[in-house]
Structure 1
Amino acid sequence: MNKKGLVLCIVFLLCAGMVMAAGSKESATVPATAGIGTPDKPVTVTYLCKDVDPVTDAQQLGILEKDIEEGLAKQGTYVDLVILSAPTGSYATVVPIAFRTGQINPDLIYFQGNDQPLAQEGLLEDLTPYIEKSTNVKAIMADHNKAAMKNYPYLLWLAPARVQIPVMRSDWFASLQSSKALLANPSVDNYYALFKEIKDKGLAKWPITTDGGILKLDSVFNHAFGITATIIKENGKWVYSQATDATKNKLAFYAKLYKDGLLDNEYVTKTWETMEQAFYEGTAGFVAGTAGDVVNVYNNKMKEAQGVELAVLPPAKGVSQAYQSIDVTKESRGFAMNADSKVKDAAWAVLEYMAGPEGRILDKLGLEGIHYTMENGKYVLTKQFPSWWAKFWPTMNGLDTSKVVGEVLSSPAIASLDAAAKYFAPDTNVLLPEDLLPLKDAMDKLYREYSTDIIRGVRPISDFDEFVTKWNAAGGTRISDYLATVLK
C-alpha cells in the first residue's frame, strides 16, 4: 500500500470509530429492546393469562393492547400484542396439556402450576439472561423473586410473597366477645371460640368457608400445629409434612370444625367464585385471600355488598406462629416464555415495559377514562378503579403513587401485606427429579383423599396411620432417601 492509500485508510478508520462512538453514546439512552420491529411491520407477540379473556372483555383488553403497543413504540419497539383465550376447563390443568400438545403456542404464557415437567422437557425458556440484561424487571424484583428465579429460572412472577391472609367483616369481628382474646393470644382454642361465637350468634351459616381444599386454612393453622415447612425432619429423617403427627393433629382439629358445623360442610364442592359469593352475601364469615391485591378485591366487594371493610387476622399461635412458609424453590405461578418462540426479544420487551414506570401505571391503575382520569397532572381514580387488577405484575414496586388521587390499595390490603411481612417464615423444599414427580403426584392424591375423608367424618382420624403406610409405599420412603442426599 502506498503512502496516500495508507493515509486514506487511517482517515476511514478514524471516521468509522467516531460514528461508532456516537452511536454507542446515543444507544445508552435507548431501551435495550429498542430496534425491534418497525412502524409498518410490528412483531406479533401472543400472550395467554388466566382470567384475561379477549372474548368476555374485548373492549378493555383491546384498549390495553393498544396502550402497551403505543408505549413500546415511543421507546422504538414495535409490537402487535395479541391476547389469546385459554382452553375451556381448569386453567392449571388444561393449559399445560394444551401447550405440550401444540393446541396452543403463545409466546408468553401464564402458568398456575404443572409447568415444571414442561421446563424439564426444554419447552420453557431460561429467563436468566433476559433478567440480567434488564433494567425495569431487575429493579422491581423482591428478594423472594430473586431467590426463586435462581432456583427455577423459567417462571417469573413479580408479586408480593403469595401468602393467604385470613379476613372477616370488621363489624362482625368487633361485635364478638372472643375477638379481643383472639388478638391478645391467637391460639387454636381462641380461634375455635371465635368460630363458635359466630355460629351461636347466627351471624353466618358457616363461620369458615374455603374453595374446595384446605390450603387457605393451612395458612392460618399449619405453624400452630408444628407444620413449619413442606419438608421437615421427624425421627431423624427428612419427610414431607403431610405424613407427620403434626398433620394428623391438624386434621383432627379440622374434623372437629366440620362436625361442629363451623367449617362449611359444602367446602369440597366450592369454587373460588361460590366461596367469594358466600362470603359477600354473609352465608360464610371467614375466608383467606392472597395478601395485597386479592384482599383488596375482597375488601372492595364487601364494601359494595355490605358497606363494611374487612378485618385482617393473625395466624394461629402454637408450636410456631406464621402464615404459610414461603417456598422459593420456584414460583408457584407466573409468566414463562415459550422456548420455541421466534420472537423472544419482542416478548421480553413486553414484560420489561410493564415493569417500567409507564407500564406500572398502566398495569396497576388501569385504563385512562375508565379507571382513572387525568386532572392537573394527577391520576384521579374513578369508581370503576376497584374492578381493575394487574394483568402482568401485581407488585406495588415501581409504582409512583405521589401523583395518584385515591386509594390504590385499601387499608385492609395494606394491613395484609404488613401482616405477611411480620409473620414471614421461609420454607424448606426441593425440586424433585423428573422420575420422582409421578410418585409425588400419587402421594399428593392419596393425601387429598384421606384428608378430605377424615375432615368430613367419612374416615376416623385413626385411619391417618393407614394413610402414612400407603404414603410411604407409594413413594414416601424412596423420596425420603432422595431428600437425605439433598438436605444436610
Structure 2
Amino acid sequence: MKKFLSILLMSLMVLSVFVGCGDKSTQETPNETPSETPGETSETGIGTKESPVEVSIILKDASPNDEAIQSIVKAIEEGMAEEENYVKITFLEPPTGTYGEAVPLAFRTGQISPDIIYFQGGDLPVSNDGLLEDLTEYVQNSAYVKNLMEEHTKVKLENYPYLLWLAPARVPAPVMRKDFADQLDSFDAVMQDPTVENYEKMLTEIVEKGVAKYAITSDGDLSRMNTVFNQAFGVTGTIVKEDGKWVFSKASEFEKNKLEFFARLYKNGLIDPEYITKQWDTMEKSFYEGEAAFIAGTAGAVINIYNNKMTQTHGEGAELVVLPPAKGVSQGYTAIDVSKESRGFAINAQSKVKDAAFAVLDFMASPKGNMLDKLGIEGTHYNVEGEKIVFTEKFPEWYPRFWETLNKFEPTPELAEPMMSAPGLKSLEMAKEYYVEDVNVLIPDHLISQWDAMNTLYKEYSSDIIRGVRPVSDFDEFVEKWNQSGGTEFESYLVEQLGN
C-alpha cells in the first residue's frame, strides 16, 4: 500500500509543475484571500460580502432545483458569513446514469468540473490521473474536521489522501428481538461470555423452542454471519499469516474451520436454507415477520431502521438487542478495510478556489454546520421550545447531506428526544468497542481477472460446503484451484506490499 501511494504521490509531484498547488491557484483567484497553508484561512477570511467566492458542488441525489438543497445552501452561506467567510455555493446537476460510474467519467472527460465532488466509487482512476487534491494539510489545519475524525477515517486518509468521509465505520452488527431473547435460557451466557459454543447453544435453543423457524438468515453471502464469527475462528482480515506466510484468509485453515461450523449450523436447521438466494428485502421481511430471529445490519442508521420498523409492527417489547461478536482466536466485528475510503468528498485539483471549497466542508463539521446537517432547518424540521430542540413532523424527511458521523454531536440547546433509537446508538458504541482494522492490499490491474476468478471459486465452494453439497474435505481441493487461478501469482505481490 505504501509503495502504491508513493507512486501516486510522485506522479502528483510531477503533475504539480503544470497544475500548481493549492496556494498558487488560490492566489490567482481575486475573490479568495490567499493563505500560506492549505486549509488555513487568513485573518481576513475568505472572500468579501460584496465579492463572495463561488464554490460548485456535485453530490448524489442533490439537485439544484430541490427545495431542501436550496435551503441548505442559504443556511451554509449565512453561517459561513457569520465567520467572515463569504461563499456563493452552486450545486450542479449530476450527469445522467449510475452516479458511481457517470460522475468519474464526466469528470475525467471534462464534461463537469466542480470544485467539490462526492464520489461513490470510481475515484481511483481519477486520482491516478492527478485530478484530485491531496487533502492531508487541509485536514491537519482544519478548525473542525480533524476533531470529528474517528480512527478508521484517520488511517484511510493517511493511506489515500484524496477522499474524506466523516462517518461511522460501516460494520454489520448482529441483532435480535428482546422478546425473543427473553425466552432463551442461553441468552445471558452469550452476552456475558460470547464463545462460539455459547452462541451455538443459543441458536439451537431458538429453533428447538420454536421461538423462530430459523436462527439466522442473510441476503446471498456470508458477510452478515462473518461479522459475528470471523474473528473467533481466526479470520482476522482479508489477508492473514499462515505458517509464516501471507495468504488470503479465504484460502486459509481458519476459513475451513469456520465453514465447517457453518455447515453444522445449516445441517441442524439453524441457518435459513434460502440465505444464498434471498435479496435484502426478502431477508428483512423474514426478520420482521419473525421467521428468522437473528440478522446483522450496518451499525447506526440501519439498525435504527430495523428497530423502528420492528417496534412499530410488534410493539415496544420487540425492541432490538445488539449482540457482541463471538470470541475465540480473536474477537471483533468484521475487519474494516482502511486502505482507502470507498466513498466521500474530494476537491478538484484544477480548482482555483480550493481553500474556499475545503472551508465549506470544514464548516459542515462545525457545531453550526453539524446541527444543520443533522437536524435540518429551524422552523421547518425542528423548533426550539423551552430550551429544548423539538422535532416537527417534517423531521423524518431530512437526512445529512455531508457528514453522517454522530461523533461529538452535542447540539445546543439539547434535543428533547434522541435522534436515534437506543439500539441504533448501542450498535455504534459496540462497533467502536469491537473495531478491528483489516489487513488488505489494493488489487493491481494485472491481477484483477485472476482475483475475480478466485472469488468465484470461493463462492461456489463455500456455499456448497455449507449446504452439504460438498464435504468439508473438498476445501483442500478448493485451495489448489484457488492457487492455480491466481493465488500463487499473488504471493510475491503480498510480500512486496506487506513484507515478510
Q: For residue 20 of structure 1, what is the aligned residue in structure 2?
A: none
Contact 1:47–1:109 at 8 Å: present in 2 too? yes
**Quick one: which of 462, 469, 474 aligns to 2:485?**
474
Q: For residue 313 of structure 1, what is the aligned residue in structure 2?
A: 323
Shift of residue 313 of structure 1? 0.3
With over 3 angstroms needed to count, the CA separation of the structure-2 counterparts of 1:435 and 1:135, relative to structure 1, is: farther
Q: For residue 136 of structure 2, what is the aligned residue in structure 1?
A: 128
Gaps (5+ residues) in structure 1? Answer: 1-22
Q: Which amino acid in the other structure matches residue 384 of structure 2?
A: M
Q: Which amino acid in the other structure matches residue 490 of structure 2?
A: I
Q: Which amino acid in the other structure matches residue 78 of structure 1?
A: V
Shift of residue 384 of structure 1? 5.2
Shift of residue 400 of structure 1? 2.1
Pick which of 71-80 and 170-179 moved more: 71-80
Q: Which amino acid in the other structure matches residue 435 of structure 2?
A: F
- The reply to whether residue 82 of structure 1 matches residue 91 of structure 2 is yes
Q: Which amino acid in the other structure matches residue 141 of structure 2?
A: K
Q: For residue 336 of structure 2, what is the aligned residue in structure 1?
A: 326
Rounded to whole Å, the distance in 1 between the matches of 2:291 and 2:100 is: 28
Gaps (5+ residues) in structure 2? Answer: 1-33, 36-40
Look up the SS of the partner of 2:130 in the other structure.
coil
- How large is the Cα RMSD of the aligned pairs? 3.3
Pick which of 271-280 and 393-402 moved more: 271-280
Contact 2:94–2:103 at 8 Å: present in 1 too? no
Contact 1:69–1:81 at 8 Å: present in 2 too? no
Pick which of 388-397 and 312-321 moved more: 388-397
- The reply to whether residue 403 of structure 1 matches residue 410 of structure 2 is no
Q: For residue 15 of structure 2, what is the aligned residue in structure 1?
A: none
Q: For residue 20 of structure 2, what is the aligned residue in structure 1?
A: none
Shift of residue 113 of structure 1? 4.5
- The reply to whether residue 391 of structure 1 matches residue 401 of structure 2 is yes
Rounded to whole Å, the distance in 2 between the matches of 1:101 and 1:272 is: 35
| 1:25-424 pair list within 5 angstroms | 31=45, 34-35=46-47, 43-49=54-60, 52=61, 54=63, 58-75=66-83, 76-82=85-91, 84=93, 107-113=115-121, 115-308=123-316, 309-340=319-350, 344-382=354-392, 385=395, 388-401=398-411, 403-404=413-414, 405-424=416-435
Rounded to whole Å, the distance in 1 between the matches of 2:109 and 2:116 is: 16
Rounded to whole Å, the distance in 2 between the matches of 1:462 and 1:114 is: 39
Identity value in percent: 51
Contact 2:228–2:326 at 8 Å: present in 1 too? yes
Shift of residue 149 of structure 1? 0.8
Rounded to whole Å, the distance in 2 between the matches of 1:268 and 1:385 is: 37
Rounded to whole Å, the distance in 1 between the matches of 2:276 and 2:51 is: 53
Alpha-carbon deviations, 1:177-220, whole Å to 9, x = none?
22123223322233233233333444444432333322222111
Q: Which amino acid in the other structure matches residue 202 of structure 2?
A: L
Q: Which amino acid in the other structure matches residue 357 of structure 1?
A: P
Q: Which amino acid in the other structure matches residue 487 of structure 1?
A: G
Rounded to whole Å, the distance in 1 between the matches of 2:269 and 2:96 is: 37
So what's the TM-score if we normalise by structure 1?
Answer: 0.81
Look up the SS of the partner of 1:165 in the other structure.
strand
Rounded to whole Å, the distance in 2 between the matches of 1:451 and 1:30 is: 61
Shift of residue 107 of structure 1? 4.6
Query: How many residues are aligned here?
Result: 457
**Quick one: which of 436, 443, 449 aligns to 1:425?**
436
Q: Which amino acid in the other structure matches residue 388 of structure 2?
A: K
With over 3 angstroms needed to count, the CA separation of the structure-2 counterparts of 1:273 and 1:250, relative to structure 1, is: same
Contact 2:303–2:423 at 8 Å: present in 1 too? yes
Rounded to whole Å, the distance in 2 between the matches of 1:186 and 1:94 is: 45
Pick which of 429-438 and 462-471 moved more: 429-438
Pick which of 393-402 and 236-245 moved more: 393-402
Rounded to whole Å, the distance in 2 between the matches of 1:456 and 1:448 is: 12
With over 3 angstroms needed to count, the CA separation of the structure-2 counterparts of 1:194 and 1:477, relative to structure 1, is: same
Q: Which amino acid in the other structure matches residue 265 of structure 2?
A: L
Rounded to whole Å, the distance in 2 between the matches of 1:235 and 1:445 is: 25
Contact 2:62–2:91 at 8 Å: present in 1 too? no
Rounded to whole Å, the distance in 1 between the matches of 2:492 and 2:74 is: 54
Pick which of 436-445 and 228-237 moved more: 436-445
Contact 2:55–2:115 at 8 Å: present in 1 too? no
**Quick one: which of 464, 478, 483 aligns to 2:475?**
464
Contact 1:120–1:434 at 8 Å: present in 2 too? no
Alpha-carbon deviations, 1:272-292, whole Å to 9, x = none?
444334433434322222223
Look up the SS of the partner of 1:175 in the other structure.
coil
With over 3 angstroms needed to count, the CA separation of the structure-2 counterparts of 1:408 and 1:118, relative to structure 1, is: same
Look up the SS of the partner of 2:306 in the other structure.
helix
With over 3 angstroms needed to count, the CA separation of the structure-2 counterparts of 1:338 and 1:279, relative to structure 1, is: farther
Rounded to whole Å, the distance in 1 between the matches of 2:125 and 2:307 is: 37
Alpha-carbon deviations, 1:219-244, whole Å to 9, x = none?
11101111112221112211111110
Shift of residue 98 of structure 1? 6.5
Q: Which amino acid in the other structure matches residue 379 of structure 1?
A: I
Contact 1:207–1:262 at 8 Å: present in 2 too? yes
Shift of residue 166 of structure 1? 0.8
Shift of residue 345 of structure 1? 4.0
Structure with bigger gyration radius: 1
Rounded to whole Å, the distance in 2 between the matches of 1:290 and 1:213 is: 15
So what's the TM-score if we normalise by structure 2?
Answer: 0.79
- The reply to whether residue 444 of structure 1 matches residue 452 of structure 2 is no
Alpha-carbon deviations, 1:133-184, whole Å to 9, x = none?
3211122222332222111112212123332211111121122222123223
Rounded to whole Å, the distance in 2 between the matches of 1:299 and 1:409 is: 10
Contact 2:300–2:424 at 8 Å: present in 1 too? yes
Contact 1:166–1:287 at 8 Å: present in 2 too? yes
Rounded to whole Å, the distance in 1 between the matches of 2:109 and 2:214 is: 42
Contact 1:39–1:78 at 8 Å: present in 2 too? no
Rounded to whole Å, the distance in 2 between the matches of 1:269 and 1:64 is: 41
Contact 1:293–1:389 at 8 Å: present in 2 too? no
With over 3 angstroms needed to count, the CA separation of the structure-2 counterparts of 1:217 and 1:120, relative to structure 1, is: farther
Q: Which amino acid in the other structure matches residue 304 of structure 2?
A: N
Look up the SS of the partner of 1:267 in the other structure.
coil
With over 3 angstroms needed to count, the CA separation of the structure-2 counterparts of 1:442 and 1:132, relative to structure 1, is: farther
